[in-house]
Amino acid sequence: MMKRVIFWSILFQFFSTFVLSWGEAIEKVEIFFDGKLTQDGVPTGWILKEKTGEAEFKILNENNEYIAYFKSNAASFSLERPLQIDPKKFPYLSWKWKVLKLPAGGDVRLKGKNDQAAQLLIVFEGRKVISYLWDTMAPVGSISDESIGWPINLKIKTLTVKSGTSDLGKWVSFTRNVVEDYKNLFNEEPLLVQGIRIQINSQHTRTIAEALFGRIVLLSSLQAH
């Protein structure tokens, strides 16, 4: 009898742990840079996109976390990660950046100077995109429209979440409610999240920009952080 009690006790603890772990797992979706690297140095699951110039990047290990280092010398490039996530189940987007060098004179409000050291773009079904960025000149809260017409037909809204040289060389964390941001920017409910992109560019100002990107997390609630 005692052995049977011990057996069921152990089994109960196992299932309790399993359910707890499963519950914790579905509270957030963590996106890392820890995949096996391709010959081009791109971690598995990510796609390199070079728009202008040559991409200069590498994956580093800092305090047991894989991070992405980007350097732009009058270039524009990004790493993209395809996803299929319901933003209403995971409305909070959390990430961190460390900007080492801002593109001199960069300003999202000016077409000829629209360069940033760090951008995080979230792509929604319906060809709509929110771009969160650290700008050199534009004040925090600035909203711009960078939509691209036919034949690409992308509706892109940018939101400046960090500005200027304060906190250069430091990790800075952000958390945004992407559902609320989407509704405020596009005046409608969001469809599925189809991808994440980290990006750097300094091709307009013909300057140098440098940044580090840490893990990105989609959260079901702020308590799941």
Q: Report how far residue 66's alpha carbon sits from residue 87's, in angstroms, rounded to the nearest whole number.
A: 25
pLDDT band at 8 (very low <50, low <70, confident <90, very high): very low
Cis amide prior to 151 (ω within 30 degrees): yes
Domain count for the chain: 1
CATH code for the domain of 105: 2.60.120.260
Asked if residue 197 is part of any domain, the answer here is: yes
Q: Report how far residue 158's alpha carbon sits from residue 186's, in angstroms, rounded to the nearest whole number.
A: 12
Instruction: Return the amino acid letter for 219.
Output: L
Instruction: Return the amino acid letter for 158.
Output: T
Average pLDDT value over all residues in the chain: 89
SS3 letters across 5-47? HHHHHHHHHHHHHHHHHHHHHCCEEEECCCCCECCCCCECCCE
User: Which DSSP letter does residue 142 get?
Assistant: -
Asked if residue 90 is part of any domain, the answer here is: yes
Q: What is the CA radius of gyration of the chain?
A: 20
Asked if residue 102 is part of any domain, the answer here is: yes
Question: Does the pLDDT of residue 213 top 90, yes or no?
Answer: yes
Asked if residue 50 is part of any domain, the answer here is: yes
Q: What is the DSSP string of 47-59?
A: EEEEEES--EEEE
The pLDDT tens digits of the residues spanning 159-168 come to 999 999 999 9
User: Which DSSP letter does residue 223 get?
Assistant: G
pTM of the full predicted structure? 0.87
The pLDDT tens digits of the residues spanning 56-101 come to 999 999 999 999 999 999 999 999 999 999 999 999 999 999 999 9
Domain extent at residue 136: 29-224
The pLDDT tens digits of the residues spanning 11-53 come to 333 333 333 334 444 799 999 999 899 999 999 999 999 999 9
Q: Parallel, antiparallel, or unpaired: how do β-strands 128-135 and 155-163 relate?
A: parallel
